Amino acid sequence: MSGRAWGVLFVLCGAIFLEGIDVAMLNVALPSIREDLDMSTGMLQWVMSAYVLGYGGFMLLGGRAADLFGRRRMFVFWLVVFLLFSGLGGFATEGWMLIVARFVTGVAAAFMTPAGLSIITTSFDEGPQRNKALLVYSGTAAGGFSIGLVVGGLLAAVDWRWVFFAPVVLSLLILIAAIALIPGSPRPDRAGRGIDLAGSISVTGGILLLVFGVERAAHVSVASTVGTVAASLVLFLVFVAVERRSPSPLVRLGLFRNGSLVRANLAGLLFAAGFFGFQFIAVLYLQELRGWSTLQTSFALIVIGVDAVLSPTLTPRLVARFGNARVIFGGLLLAALSYALFLPVGADWTYLAMFPSLIILGLAFSLAYGPLTIAATDGIAEEEQGVAGGLLYTSFQFGAALGLSAVAAVNIAATDGTSPTALLDGYRAALVVPLVAALVAALVSAFGLRGRAGAADAGPGPGTDPADIPRTAERVDASM
């Protein structure tokens, strides 16, 4: 690739790294935040949930905005918003101030992330070049989350406010690089592509209510959850009715005839549910039962971050050799194996006993995450790449919320007391949720294996080194 192409990819990887490290650092800083701001457990949950609500609720709208108003413009503008509200979070003196700042930061990420992804998918030729770029991109995202666990522990040990100030510094550097390296482009031709206001309001409201209902499921009555979810489903039905009649729909319903896109979104939702649900239970086990510190827990889980190395190195070669569908299927089976190995967790397990599950999960993430991104955007028209990216990240985000709520609900229901035995019973019951999610995701992805023996899915062939990417990066200057 040309120097300009690598520069653009560097900036976009920096942005997705920023998003990953921001979330991970906050995860490990929550106890310090609660102590300093005197927040209740319910309010503390909303420090995380507000971000998920903003991110998941506005992702689809963010993807469409990138297609309509220009990917570079949306990326740069919302990166500035992300920078400002991350900094404001660090100055919060009340819990509600922090929650508002996290919600707006999540909305900014919802517009910034699909814009960045669609810059990649429209700037690099479909095939080995784009696959390589997407796998480097996904590996960087994974690295941000893994590194954030440790960095967040270190910063929180000094002052939790640095967990918010550190992303400001990184955001500023990425912003300067983005302005310098991502080339400008003419405003997209929106003739016949107006803003679908009714569709935007109905689908955003539906997603917000659905994520809200799932996030609160473990803390409110069943009736309240059912009512919230039912209201969200009504809004989704309104959205479908609007899109059928709209001359310029927010999401063209014909997109869902693309089997690869549908499978990738379903498998991605289930994979994220299992991945984040497992990590939640693992953290509870290490800190509540074993008494490990935040920093010890961070270092224990960082081995999952091996995916940051494997995604841009091993995964492209496997995709080239075996095809995207087979690599995804293998990654999801490995995720199921990882969760199954952790099921018999004991009160006195050594780290060596936990290590196989953690390292296999890192390998599974490297094989599934990047190729799912490829599958969800492959064959999609350039003018709909933002929407395709928004759909995928909405699925990931909703899957994370669903997984966290499901394992929390099962854990609470299965834990009868505070003794080590009671806690272990709760953890083991909750660990069934990630296992089932991974197995169902593998089943969904298995449908993509049919008829995939030919060269169409097998990539450039077993003798092709994915590092040998054609020098066609001139599209970077033409397509943004």
Give the model's pLDDT for residue 461. 38
Reply yes or no on whether the pLDDT at 311 is more than 70: yes
| Model pLDDT for residues 113-137, shown as the tens digit of each residue | 888 888 888 888 777 788 888 888 8
Task: State pTM to two decimals.
Answer: 0.80
Burial 142-177 (b: 16+ CB within 10 A, else e): bbbbbbbbbbbbebbeeebbbbbebbbebbeebbeb
DSSP H or E stretch at residue 243: helix 222-245
Q: Residue 220: how many CB atoms within 10 A of its CB?
A: 13
Reply yes or no on whether the pLDDT at 194 is more than 80: no
Cβ–Cβ under 8 Å, residues 312 and 141:
no
| Model pLDDT for residues 325-381, shown as the tens digit of each residue | 999 999 999 999 999 999 999 988 999 999 999 999 999 999 998 899 889 888 888
| Model pLDDT for residues 396-415, shown as the tens digit of each residue | 888 887 888 788 888 888 88
Distance, CA of 262 to CA of 352 (rounded, Å): 38
Give the model's pLDDT for residue 186. 62
Burial class (CB in 10 A: 0-12, 13-18, 19+), 116: buried
Burial 458-476 (b: 16+ CB within 10 A, else e): bbbeeeeebeebeeebeeb
Cβ–Cβ under 8 Å, residues 150 and 299:
yes
SS3 452: coil
pLDDT > 90: percent of the chain: 30
Q: How far, in Å, are 201, 386, 470 from residue 8 at the CA level? A: 33, 17, 17
Q: Residue 186: how many CB atoms within 10 A of its CB?
A: 7
| Model pLDDT for residues 152-187, shown as the tens digit of each residue | 878 887 888 999 999 999 999 999 999 988 877 666
Q: How far, in Å, are 8, 128, 315 from residue 470 at the CA level? A: 17, 8, 19
Give the model's pLDDT for residue 198. 84
- Residue 53 DSSP label: H
| Model pLDDT for residues 14-58, shown as the tens digit of each residue | 998 888 888 888 877 877 888 888 887 667 777 877 887 888 778
